[in-house]
Structure 1
């Protein structure tokens, strides 16, 4: 397996693109909350402590634009909206779980 070092300028640009998509303060928490199942907007607000409604909307829109989550709106009163990980988003599952395990091991 050929591993390239991150120091190369062309890789820094790619890494920045990746972080623009999933590097938001709340992005990983949102993805982690969606791994087991689709969730309604209010569920996500309750599951993720400290996130404001405005930030949740912003992060979800960004992830939707980048193909990480899908948004399904239902014509109900009041309106119901569900979010689910796309196939692209589900590929982040092992990465986020590895980061979580790393944190358990190295962060006090």
Structure 2
């Protein structure tokens, strides 16, 4: 496993009529995620062109911290059991920062 910081981009397409429920669940999830030892940031955004598109930008100190987040009981309950069934689509991209040199 890498010791590099991991940034996660998650794009959720919420089912029609389920946005308020998803936002209420995120309001419960966000503070718990931010309190994790390995969490660097946890930001939630909403598309300006489609309000049913939610984008999460999350940072973790390393892959171990990300795994701990994903395996936490509250993540499993809130995201996997409660939010995912309310989504049309869910895309998650894990990244590490590239250190580009000036040319």
Please report the TM-score for the alignment, with normalisation by the length of structure 2.
0.31
Higher relative contact order (CA 8 A, sep 6+): 2
Larger radius of gyration: 1
Higher strand share: 2
Whichever structure has more helix as a proportion of its residues is: 1
